[in-house]
Chains A and B, each alone.
Chain A
Amino acid sequence: MEGELEEVERQLRGAKGVPSAESLIRYLRLMRDLHIRDSPTVARYGNILLRHYRSHLSEEELWTVHEQVAIAALDSHALPFAASVVRAINRRFPDSVRAKRLQGMYFEAAGDYGRAEDVYRDILVGDNTNETALKRLVALQRSQGDTPAAIDAMKKYLDVFSNDKDAWEELADMYLEVLNYRQAAFCMEELLMLSPHNSSFYVRYADILYTIGGPTNYKTARSYYSKAIELTMGGSLRALFGVLACCAHITEKVSLQDARSRAQIELPEVTTQALLRIYKQHAPDKLPFVEPILAKLAGQSERP
């Protein structure tokens, strides 16, 4: 199909005057099927097609092309043209959610956030779990820099789509932005349940607990860093340094009798060796800077 697209593009570029209806229709079809993003070109050829050859298109394809061209025009910020296409779609389908969504996206592109919000809220009145509308409301608040409002909008989205990992990650980031560590930790707990094998979630969760601080959090953070070390087979610098930093904060004595405690005593030493190995292999020039830090951290964790 890519070869076909090249051929059609050549025809379009070589055309004298208005290109043929057939090549324009084929070009837009190929761009839809191949999901290629070249918004300015799609908007340009779509404009020609809709102006000169409406009658060459079936009723169904006519409106598919309208939608395709409207999104391309918004994407390339051709606002007056986008407005005319979006208006046509809304006149033809006054009750369609897809048409309203385009209306909202037009207001967003034009910087009219208030009216965009009205449109999305209106969609939600008819369909209170509409995915696009709920998501656009988050983006809308974020682009205005209102993190607390974006957090509220994201919570509403996650009430419905609670398995969306990207959304939980974004919510955690937003909580960190406003320094709400407890809620950020809660988001990471959800993420750990959704993907129990993603080591970076363990590290992020431990980082949050370490930042909150306190004896219990240092201990929990240490075990999550340890889990991340296990998952990365000792390759995560963040997790290795994290374990040492936690150990340096944990001062209570452990009983030598049980095996788990013995493992905890050996943990700083094993971690230190792993870090030295990584630095020797990948960043030998940094070794002299790292060695004194490791000695200091190990010294702290050996305190009686």
Chain B
Amino acid sequence: MVAVVVHQGPLLKILAHAAKFPANSVNGVLLGNCVESGSVEVHDVIPLCHTTLSLAPALEIGLAQVESYTHITGGVEIVGYYQSDSRSGSSDLSPLGRKIADKVAEHQAQAVVLLLDNKQLEQFCKASADNPFELFRQDGTRGWKRVTDGSKAAEGADAAPSLQLKGGDWKKLREEFFTMFKQLKHRTLHDFEEHLDDASKDWLNKGFAGMGKFLLPGNAL
């Protein structure tokens, strides 16, 4: 089983992005490395849109800038896409989400998708679920398929959990999310659309709360 390993920092950013715009759908890209045999490691995310996911210009310009950033800094590349829908109920990747994910996969054939599911987020906040994210990978010609989390499979099943949190401490992620929320730190995260409306807003979120230790290698610019 090939693994997708995500660090805590990027997951916290996705949670912050969704918390900052609770009434909107949000999306962004995952940055990291594709290591041996299809395994993916996610080091960072760049939040892109929040007003609407269905218009091309902001997304195109955002992707282009992120791509240019990864080329210049080196060390990481675009390895996937994330989305969180405003509406609760559907825990599937929407047709639009699939289209955007296809576009991201043009850059990286091994690309993965993280979907922040509202129902699971609720369970996560109540501490009755560990992981609020759904993982999708491309399955040949059949498109994006949900990867069932091995930890939720029947006990004794030998499938490894497909989405792994680096360090494995989901409880700590929940605590950090609550702390961030209470201190209103999620409001200090800025996505690419906010940058388009005010150029001084930093979509790299270098100053984002507690993110210092998650700075990327080669992030010297």
- Does A13 sit at the interface, judged by CB under 8 A? no
Would you give the shortest CB distance from B93 to chain A, in whole angstroms? Answer: 15
Partner of B57, one of A181, A238, A289, A292: A238
- Does B127 sit at the interface, judged by CB under 8 A? no
B57 engages A242 (CB within 8 Å): yes
- Does A288 sit at the interface, judged by CB under 8 A? yes
A-B contact pairs, 23 of them (CB 8 A): A176-B54, A177-B52, A207-B57, A210-B55, A210-B56, A211-B56, A238-B57, A238-B197, A242-B57, A279-B199, A282-B200, A283-B195, A283-B200, A285-B202, A285-B204, A286-B199, A288-B72, A289-B65, A289-B69, A290-B65, A293-B64, A293-B65, A293-B68
Chain A 73-91 residues near chain B, CB threshold 8 A: none
Contacts of A278 in B (CB 8 A): 199
Number of interface residues of B (CB under 8 A): 28
Contact with A along B185-209 (1 / 0, CB 8 A): 0000000000111111010100000
Give the interface centre of A176, A278, A279 by most chain B CB atoms within 10 Å.
A176
- Does A99 sit at the interface, judged by CB under 8 A? no
B57 engages A211 (CB within 8 Å): yes
B58 engages A207 (CB within 8 Å): yes
Chain A 171-206 residues near chain B, CB threshold 8 A: 173, 176-177, 179, 181, 206
Partner of A293, one of B58, B61, B96: B61
Contacts of B54 in A (CB 8 A): 176-177, 179, 181, 211
B65 engages A211 (CB within 8 Å): no
B57 engages A176 (CB within 8 Å): no
Contact with B along A236-262 (1 / 0, CB 8 A): 011001100100000000000000000
Give the complex CA separation of A245 and B196 in angstroms.
Answer: 15
- Does A48 sit at the interface, judged by CB under 8 A? no
Contact residues of A with B, CB < 8 Å? 145, 173, 176-177, 179, 181, 206-208, 210-211, 237-238, 241-242, 245, 278-279, 281-283, 285-286, 288-290, 292-293
- Does B171 sit at the interface, judged by CB under 8 A? no
Contacts of B96 in A (CB 8 A): 179
Give the complex CA separation of A280 and B60 in angstroms.
Answer: 22
Closest residue to A287 on the B side, CB-wise? B221
B199 engages A285 (CB within 8 Å): no
Give the complex CA separation of A210 and B55 in angstroms.
Answer: 8
B196 engages A290 (CB within 8 Å): no
Give the complex CA separation of A145 and B61 in angstroms.
Answer: 30
Give the interface centre of A181, A208, A289 by most chain B CB atoms within 10 Å.
A289
Give the complex CA separation of A232 and B195 in angstroms.
Answer: 16
Contacts of B89 in A (CB 8 A): 145
Give the complex CA separation of A210 and B57 in angstroms.
Answer: 7
Closest residue to A235 on the B side, CB-wise? B199
Would you give the shortest CB distance from B171 to chain A, in whole angstroms? Answer: 31
Partner of B61, one of A179, A241, A285: A241
Contacts of A292 in B (CB 8 A): 68, 71
Contacts of B145 in A (CB 8 A): none
Chain B 64-82 residues near chain A, CB threshold 8 A: 64-65, 68-69, 71-72
